[in-house]
Amino acid sequence: MTKADLAEQSVNLSDSRYYINREVSWLGFNERVLHEALDPRTPLLERLKFLAIYSSNLDEFFMVRISGVMEQAEAGVHPETPDQLPPVKQLEIMRSHLLEKVQLQHHTFEHDLRPALTEHGVYLQNYRDLDKEQIFFLRDYFEKRIFPVLTPLSVDPSHPFPRMSNLSLNLAVRVVDPETGIERFARVKVPSSLPRFVSMPESLRTYQGDPCVWIGVPLEQVIAENLGYLFPGMTIVGHHLFRITRDADFPVLEDEADDLLIAIEKEINKRRLEGFVCRVELEGAMPEDLKEGLMRELQVSPDRIYEIDGLLNLADLFFFLSIPLPELKDKPWTALVPPRLKPVIEQDDDGGRSYAEHPPNIFAALREGDILVHHPYEAFSASVQQFITQAANDPKVLAIKITLYRTSGDSPIVKALIAAAANRKQVVALVELKARFDEANNIEWAKKLEDAGVHVVYGIVGLKTHTKTTLVVREEGNEIRRYVHIGTGNYNPKTSKLYTDLGLFSCREDLGADLSDLFNFLTGYSRQKAYRKLLVAPLTLRDRMEDLVRREIDHAQSGGQGKIVVKMNSLVDYAMIKLLYEASRAGVEIDLIVRGICCLRPGLPGISENIRVISIIGGFLEHSRIFCFHNNDQPEYYIGSADWMTRNLDRRVEAVVPIEDPALVIELQIILDIMLADNRQAWEMDAEGNFTQRRPRDDNEERGTHRVLKDYFLKRDRVL
């Protein structure tokens, strides 16, 4: 059957068999994260890091996604999704998967990684295995540092079951009054304000008489072994650890809120204490009657209980990366300064050896042409941060406008904006208060910015502002020139060291005019719907992306070459997947690099045999979005903030920008080619939604994306 015949064959592309449930797909993504912890090729402390990431990801998944499916199941509703998997069935699949993988996670830590740590002098011990001097130290530490913080809460007719905060770690304590013989229950919260692991001082870092690098015990064990201080005169019958997870997805009714900032502050407090309990993690040794009592008080059914053999909350394993054992970690990477932003070196007047370095004028550099930066290979501080800092202090700059979705707690970007306001520039910051789990941080910075005289806006009712854009307006002679940064990642110097992101700097008039229109749309009552170059969601992005895919279909059907390469975080949108199926059936070759959720099934005969999907998982989090449309050997490239998810295309403000400079196009093609050739970090997806990690064949050299890109940037830096 020819491609033309296949294209004409009637197929129902809406058939649910052709789509993967998004929650099930996410579980596969997190399983790939877990695999990095299982893989002996991963350095030991990095393996602990991946266990922590797996746990942290799972916490958020329960709080937002599983809790939502639970509500659907309890309400008896069945939202229309392409896969048509009922909520009850989704819950069954997710629980079955998690029971196996969580057990594997804990088994790996207890039986593989924890013993492996001891071979390098790192001992996470049980309290009762310590020597007398170490126990004496911990008792003293408990009395002075822990005991004053603790508040035991009894449960009896005059003391109702206490409200417990989300993700809290707790000790369920059973005590008996020796005078009456009556058994009581009490709850002791393990304070999150104290370090999870209590470290021994240097003088006591020994194990069986031999010196070690680090030795310590979990905080909850120190509390458990000293419960007599909390319940004097009572007999401690038993203590058992448990941890609760609450629903944290509280929609804010923006159109009913008089003040969005105040409304969101209230919702943050709700999330901590008021969401229903969607998961309870218990020590496996907890007695059945105590478990049943907790279930009754927390109002949870058995399918929300996860019994754990070992340490609860492995997200705290991030701590072990602080131990000074560099040989057990990935080799640290020092981000490079982009070639055209390297410091200017000035020698002394006599031509001697003394010299001074200072950053180049970034505005002069941009007048020579566009600059593309790739984090974390290239430094955020020497590019994005420098751009905003120079703008804040440049007397010729009249205005700075920026969108802030997520930023760090000590953000130099925000400090630069405050400095700009002090320098009497017009500064506008769109702070997205609805950035989930960063709301409190963003509220804090919004208040500080307003106090400094920055004009702070919170976006558009009904839409999240997810775009990553900055506009700088500068007076140059008798003209006004606009400089822009349009990126794929947040203005966050901390995550810029871990997330791979791209950013375009330019002073092109068409992009400057587009960003001016976009900010007017965000801050005023503009109904601007046409843009010169930018693709803007929810206005033009979906239509333009669909047009670009259809153009590839036209090329393929008229005898040319149709080819698409897209890199994104998630592929969920039903209409885009259906269109990709149409493109595949027409003969378009499609390569998708999708880190996380992928609801498309590649390799289905007659449907998607021309579609290939890989996922790149490694030491950096793949976060950049790149879109390449071959266009009969006249390829068009785009980068931006949007994935192909319905929320990004229809319910968020996103910006995607074309990359037109030929040299920058080559850079993007190199990145995509490296990823498609990966045989170390890449996972190939099959039609059932399963992923298989690629391995080098025969004597082929390992080609991991992150290592290859590091080598590429180092080589380029030496040449230039």
* Residue whose C-alpha is closest to residue 666's, from 710, 698, 705, 628: 628
Sign of CA dihedral 153, 154, 159, 164: positive
Domain boundaries, given as residue ranges, for the chain: 22-323, 373-533, 536-719
Q: Which CATH number fits domain 22-323: 3.30.1840.10, 2.40.50.140, 3.30.43.10, 3.30.413.10?
A: 3.30.1840.10
pLDDT of residue 431: 86
Spatial distance between the Cα atoms of 507 and 364, rounded to a whole number of angstroms: 10
Tell me how many degrees the CA angle 176-178-180 measures, rounded to the nearest 5.
Answer: 90
* Residue whose C-alpha is closest to residue 146's, from 204, 217, 205, 207: 217
Spatial distance between the Cα atoms of 555 and 293, rounded to a whole number of angstroms: 66
What amino acid occupies position 68?
Answer: G
Residue 311: pLDDT over 70: yes
Q: Are strands 371-375 and 355-358 parallel, antiparallel or unpaired?
A: unpaired
pLDDT of residue 257: 44
pLDDT of residue 268: 60
Spatial distance between the Cα atoms of 212 and 681, rounded to a whole number of angstroms: 34
pLDDT per position as a tens digit, 678-709? 999 999 999 999 999 999 988 789 999 999 99
What amino acid occupies position 154?
Answer: S
CA 30 vs. chain centroid, Å, equals: 12
Peptide bond before 251: cis, by omega within 30 degrees of 0? no
Spatial distance between the Cα atoms of 42 and 39, rounded to a whole number of angstroms: 6
Residue 258: pLDDT over 80: no
Share of the chain above pLDDT 90, in %: 78
Residue 388: pLDDT over 80: yes
Kindly state the helix (H) or strand (E) to which residue 659 belongs, with its residue range.
Answer: strand 652-659
pLDDT per position as a tens digit, 70-91? 999 998 988 888 999 999 999 9
pTM of structure: 0.93
Q: What integer is the mean pLDDT of 438-446?
A: 76
Chain mean pLDDT for the chain: 91
- Do 380 and 335 contact (CB within 8 A), yes or no? yes
* 357-361, 373-377, 469-473, 597-601, range with the lowest pLDDT: 357-361
Judge residue 663's burial from the number of C-beta atoms within 10 Å of its C-beta, 0-12 exposed, 13-18 middle, 19 or more buried. Answer: exposed
State residue 679 phi and psi, 5-degree precision. Answer: -125, 20
pLDDT of residue 161: 74
User: What spatial distance separates the first Cα and last Cα of the chain, rounded to whole Å?
Assistant: 52
CA 345 vs. chain centroid, Å, equals: 38
pLDDT of residue 591: 98
Q: Which residues pair with 563 in a beta bridge?
A: 589
- Do 55 and 314 contact (CB within 8 A), yes or no? yes
* Residue whose C-alpha is closest to residue 340's, from 155, 96, 514, 505: 505
Residue 254: pLDDT over 50: no
Q: How long a stretch of residues is the chain?
A: 720
Residues 6+ apart with CB under 8 A from 533: 508, 510, 511, 514, 657, 658
What amino acid occupies position 407?
Answer: T
Which position has the higher pLDDT, 586 or 155? 586
Spatial distance between the Cα atoms of 408 and 354, rounded to a whole number of angstroms: 37
Share of the chain above pLDDT 70, in %: 92
Q: Which CATH number fits domain 373-533: 3.40.50.720, 3.30.870.10, 2.30.30.110, 3.40.190.10?
A: 3.30.870.10
pLDDT per position as a tens digit, 159-168? 667 788 899 9
Q: Which residues pair with 211 in a beta bridge?
A: 206
Spatial distance between the Cα atoms of 45 and 330, rounded to a whole number of angstroms: 9
Query: And the tokens for 131?
Result: 């020597």
Spatial distance between the Cα atoms of 709 and 706, rounded to a whole number of angstroms: 5
pLDDT tier, 1 (very low <50, low <70, confident <90, very high otherwise): very low
pLDDT per position as a tens digit, 537-588? 999 999 999 999 999 999 999 999 999 999 999 999 999 999 999 999 999 9
pLDDT of residue 712: 97
Residues 6+ apart with CB under 8 A from 509: 482
| Same fold? 22-323, 536-719 | no
CA 471 vs. chain centroid, Å, equals: 26
Spatial distance between the Cα atoms of 431 and 458, rounded to a whole number of angstroms: 5
Q: Which CATH architecture has domain 536-719?
A: 2-Layer Sandwich (3.30)
Spatial distance between the Cα atoms of 256 and 245, rounded to a whole number of angstroms: 29
* 259-268, 569-578, 592-601, 709-718, range with the lowest pLDDT: 259-268
* Residue whose C-alpha is closest to residue 150's, from 241, 244, 230: 230
Q: What integer is the mean pLDDT of 12-32?
A: 96
- Do 347 and 63 contact (CB within 8 A), yes or no? no
Spatial distance between the Cα atoms of 379 and 385, rounded to a whole number of angstroms: 9
Q: What integer is the mean pLDDT of 166-182?
A: 92
Residues 6+ apart with CB under 8 A from 467: 403, 405, 518, 536, 640, 641, 653, 654, 655
Spatial distance between the Cα atoms of 227 and 290, rounded to a whole number of angstroms: 18
Distances (CA, A) of 97 to 24, 32, 151, 367, 605: 9, 13, 37, 54, 28
Peptide bond before 376: cis, by omega within 30 degrees of 0? yes
**Known active-site residue 706:** no
pLDDT tier, 4 (very low <50, low <70, confident <90, very high otherwise): very low
* Residue whose C-alpha is closest to residue 546's, from 580, 513, 516, 518: 580
Residue 217: pLDDT over 90: yes
Distances (CA, A) of 164 to 188, 627, 635: 10, 45, 56
Cβ neighbours, 10 Å, residue 484: 26
Kindly state the helix (H) or strand (E) to which residue 637 belongs, with its residue range.
Answer: strand 636-640
Which residue among the candidates 466, 555, 623, 630 is catalytic per the annotation? 466
Peptide bond before 152: cis, by omega within 30 degrees of 0? no
